Structure 1
Amino acid sequence: MPQQALVWFKRDLRIADHAPLALAAGADAAVALFVVEPEWLTSPECDAQHVAFMRGHVLALRAALAARGLPLLIRVGSVPTVLSELRRVFDFTHLYSHEETGPGWTYARDRAVGKWCRREGVVWHESPQNGVVRRLNDRSGWARRWQQRMDARQVVVPEQFRGISGLDLGTWPDDLVAQHGHADSRPLPAIGEVAAHACLQSFLDGRGARYRRDLSSPLTAEQGCSRLSAYLAFGSLSMRQVHQGTEAKITALKSLGTADARSMAYHLRGFAGRLRWHCHFMQKLESEPEIEFRNIARSYDGLREDAFDWQRFEAWKRGCTGYPMVDACMRSLNATGWLNFRMRAMLVSFAAYHLWLHWREPGLHLARQFLDFEPGIHWSQMQMQSGTTGINTFRMYSPSKQQLDHDPHGEFIRRWIPEYGTSAYPKPIVDEKTAIREAKNWLYGVRLTAGAKAEAAAVQKKHGSRKSGLPPSGKRRRATRHSDVPRQASLFADEGLS
């Protein structure tokens, strides 16, 4: 029986190192598909910038695949319905896609697709595309498996496919997108697989020369960070490509033997370590999808939820809290869709501890603002920075200290808060010392109970790291200049890669 293959693209919008494409190339006939899902457009984390970035990548991918003889169809609707309709004109026997660790609606959709495939007799093959392991029962050995995947040879995709001609290609549904309020967008970085590789190369060829020093301040991070996180979130680069490219550059630099080369190798080694953190945190959502919606440690249930202050939340969202470093960071993020890791951590810490806001609503706002929104990292880290994991140290960032350390002359603040220093700028929304004292009293009041301690042991067993260099979250480490960086370094998608 002839094998007819359908390649379903999701957040893997590239050709290189793409296992589903390679598998489909061996079929007697093949077609590619991207589905614009109403469930995505109406989800609370979707934003106009995400839609525009996705659109650009899909259209660029369509052109690149067409050059290889593979048509990329664009369809609108729920995926099982789209598959049923497509099968009437292309009787595919195999469905190829990458695994996805996404929001709850994608988990429900994938279960529905699996049910549809079983009913219709279609073989569905899902390939991993990062270090996340499906159906993982124990974290022991996870780091070794990550290393094996990242060191494996990249998948070679043939230059030519046996594509089916004559099918309706479909168009991007701009009218439908506009109906859901996604017609406008912020300025976007360069789009497509070629642009993603250019960004990686520019980082490895020079921008990453001071990475460890540049990544913490919003003044230096804009250029000194990799800026690869959005490309990884949309899949125009694979994690393996970034890992292997970085390792090759480090090796080349070491062979030069010069002081400058050794220095850059040291900084890139710091970046390479953060790639592991990226997948480490995604694994948490894969292993426990409920953490998108509820506290990892149930001992903290009810602590903030019923006390949610919507006025404080709105002030935080707009960048009008009266704390200039917090407000400048929020305004910058709202305008650009990007912010460096330490400032992201500060925003969440301020919302969780100073304003005593439960993490879900602030997390949704940030998900819409981050172009590089990666669900697995995002929700794991929203909880980590809010103190609801049961195992992590409470990290209560002082906005004034962050300002002193990372914007001592007020350059970043003046750029984003033109009214700063005038009567138009609001007074602080809360008293910092009082707010932190009360937050500590509440949180340690829970953490020191017998029930919370027992629950923390269970959380550590399920989600804790098992590798040297990825310290178990519940253990304290001596606070040194560098030892704290890796633990901070994977906050949100850009943390590990920024």
Structure 2
Amino acid sequence: MAKINIFWHRRDLRIHDNAGLHYALTDGLPVLPIFIFDSNILDELEDRNDPRVTFIHDQVTKLHAHYHTYGSTLQVYYGTPEEVFKSILENYEVNGVFTNRDYEPYATARDSALENSLKTKGVGFFTFKDQVIFEAGEILTKEGEPYKVFTPYKNKWLEKFRQLGVTKYDCEADLKALLTIEGREIPPLSQMKFERTKLNLPTAEVSDALISNYASKRDFPAEHGTSRIGVHLRFGTVSIRDLVRRAQQLSERWLSELIWREFYMMILAHYPRVTDQAFKPQYDRIPWLNDETQFDQWCRGMTGYPLVDAGMRELNATGYMHNRVRMVVASFLTKHLLIDWRWGERYFAEKLLDFELSSNNGGWQWAAGTGTDAQPYFRVFNPQSQQEKFDPELNYIRRWVPEYGSPDYPDPMVPHKEARLRAIETYKRALSQN
């Protein structure tokens, strides 16, 4: 049996400008691309209609068809990576497994275990940088430490980017190296005990006009001013290198948001404890009230604060929430209600199509004041003034809270002024403890 290399697609569901795929295709052996619907991950999902699973299934189907046009296939499996690779090694003479790096705790543990297992069988495991421009260890202070404040991180990032530029991987030119093989059927959603979502899933198309106008329109939730490309970045259907090139030409502010994404990835890589602990340890002393009834009202969008309610209803209905509104609802939960940021983070993780562990964690800790480069604890968003500033004509609120202004709409569950003072005093007392 002739030796082959495996290319394992994960968070890179594309052929175009794919670093790991490029290195696999140019290694000198035929390449078999695979994708695994990882049962370790899928079994943890409670919602059998989870739209992210439909999204991945659709993208894998497109990728499968793309490979087919080159006379090859994407072999798609359902199971644990351990089980799948055991089966692959029984059926193929594998020289090496090529893949792009993933930085989340589950992924790094999975890859380490798999690398050790493959090594005992004489199979190499080769990983490459693809979903970021700079990995965690590439942007460091002069002392070799991770940055904890965004602006100096961003400045160093931009300086390094100007020096090095960015590579483009021309995978299409090397697809002749693909193994010619008939493909296996893609496991249907039903086999994995999922149903197809009825939600509209966002496309990867982002116009130049939207990027160019991003800085002026990004804060207004009634406007079509944000890219909605988060889910495509999450699963790598688009190239981060392509997006950064466009941002460089069209919008410094959009580029800044892409750098924030890498900042939070860097924080997670260097400080994996942030997944369940405050980045600033003293903030774990805050005595959260954690009222389950109030949390339920927040989840359902029934707080009596229209901008908060509009955001939560948008999230529940579409799997998306406008970025400005995310900050308002997160601040409201952690400051007005004194509910642990981890509760809100978990709820977003279940609901957001574009859920990204590092960004979600970073955003929630920022809002709660517990994170790196967070807003100070004594800054408490006023939902009413945020509404007046960013939805002055109530277009966003009317869309999601049609009963606003009628007797059917609830009164505010907590008065802003009192809730603000309570939050500040609670934080101050907790942080003053030795």
Offset of 1:107 from its aligned partner?
A: 3.3
SS at match of 2:125: strand
Which residue of structure 1 aligns with residue 311 of structure 2?
329
Contact conserved, 1:304 with 1:357, CA < 8 A, in 2? no
Aligned-pair CA distance for 1:354: 0.6
Q: Distance in 1 between matches of 2:372 and 2:59?
A: 39
Q: 1:65 aligns with which of 48, 64, 67?
A: 67
Tell me, yes or no, if the aligned pair for 1:19 and 1:155 is still in contact at 8 Å. yes
Q: How is 1:173-188 mapped onto 2 (pairs within 5 angstroms)?
A: 173-177=188-192, 179=193, 182-188=195-201
1:273 counterpart = 2:256: yes
Q: Secondary structure at the match of 1:160?
A: helix
One of 219, 224, 234 as aligned partner of 2:222: 219
CA distance in 2, matches of 1:342, 1:14: 30
Does the 8 Å CA contact 2:73/2:181 hold for their aligned counterparts? no
- Alignment CA distance shift 1:126-1:62 (3 Å): same
Does structure 2 retain, via aligned residues, the 8 Å contact 1:30–1:70? no
Map of 1:385 onto structure 2: 367
- 2:213 pairs, out of 210, 213, 228, with 210
> Secondary structure, in 3 states, of the residue corresponding to 1:152?
coil
Q: How far 1:308 sits from its partner (Å)?
A: 1.4
Going from structure 1 to structure 2, the CA distance change for 1:171 and 1:304 (only over 3 Å counts) comes to farther
Is residue 303–residue 412 contact of structure 2 (8 Å, CA) maintained in 1? Answer: yes
Shift of 1:324: 0.9
Q: SS where residue 301 of structure 1 aligns?
A: helix
The answer on whether the counterparts of 1:73 and 1:168 sit within 8 Å (CA) in structure 2 is yes
5+ residue gaps in structure 2? 139-143, 148-152
Identity %: 26
Deviates more, 1:112-121 or 1:141-150: 141-150
User: Which residue of structure 1 aligns with residue 423 of structure 2?
Assistant: 439
2:94 is matched with 92
Deviation at 1:36, TM superposition (A): 0.6
SS in 2 for 1:352: helix
Which secondary structure state, in structure 2, belongs to the residue aligned with residue 317 of structure 1? helix
Work out whether residues 354 and 436 of structure 1, in 8 Å CA contact, stay in contact via their aligned partners in 2. yes
Q: Which runs of 5+ in 1 are unaligned?
A: 191-195, 251-267, 452-498
Give 1:399 shift.
0.6
Given the two structures, how large is their TM-score scaled by the length of structure 1?
0.78
**2:96 and 2:123 in contact (8 A); partners too:** yes
For residues 360 and 149 of structure 1, what CA distance do their matches in structure 2 show? Answer: 39
CA contact (8 A) 1:131 1:145 kept: no
What is the CA–CA distance in structure 2 between the aligned matches of 1:286 and 1:43, rounded to whole Å? 22
Number of the residue aligned with 2:324? 342
CA RMSD of aligned residues (A): 2.4
Q: Against the structure 1 CA distance between its residues 384 and 246, is the aligned structure 2 distance closer, same or farther, given a 3 Å change threshold?
A: closer
1:42 — aligned with what? 43
From the superposition, tell whether residues 170 and 289 of structure 1 become closer, same or farther in structure 2 (CA, over 3 Å): farther
Q: Give the deviation of 1:274 after TM superposition.
A: 2.2
Question: In 1, distance between residues paired with 2:163 and 2:114?
Answer: 26
Show CA shifts across 1:177-198 (max 9, x none).
Answer: 3x3x5543421123xxxxx2xx
For the residues of structure 2 that align with 1:441 and 1:406, how far apart are their CA atoms? 28
**Structure 1 residue 426: Cα displacement:** 1.6
Residues 466-477 of structure 1 mapped to structure 2, 5 A cutoff = none
Aligned to 2:5: 5
User: Distance between the aligned counterparts of 1:390 and 1:106, measured in 2?
Assistant: 23
Aligned to 1:23: 23
Any conservation in 2 of the 1:31–1:72 contact (CA below 8 Å)?
yes
The residue type equivalent to 2:189 in the other structure is D
**What amino acid is aligned across from residue 409 of structure 1 in structure 2?**
E
Amino acid of the structure 2 residue aligned with 1:160:
L
CA shift digits 1:353-390 (9 cap, x unpaired): 01111111211111222211111111122111112127
Aligned residues: 416
Q: State the partner residue of 1:286.
A: 269
| Mapping of residues 132-171 of structure 1, within 5 Å | 132-134=134-136, 138-139=145-146, 143=157, 147=161, 151-157=165-171, 158-166=173-181, 169-171=184-186
Tell me how far 1:422 sits from its aligned partner: 2.0
2:333 corresponding residue in structure 1: 351
Distance 2:316 2:7 in 1: 35
What is the CA-CA distance between 1:296 and the residue it aligns to?
1.5
Select which of 349, 353, 358 maps to 1:371: 353
**SS in structure 2 opposite 1:419?**
coil
Q: Distance in 2 between matches of 1:134 and 1:90?
A: 35
Residue 93 of structure 1 aligns to a residue whose secondary structure is: strand
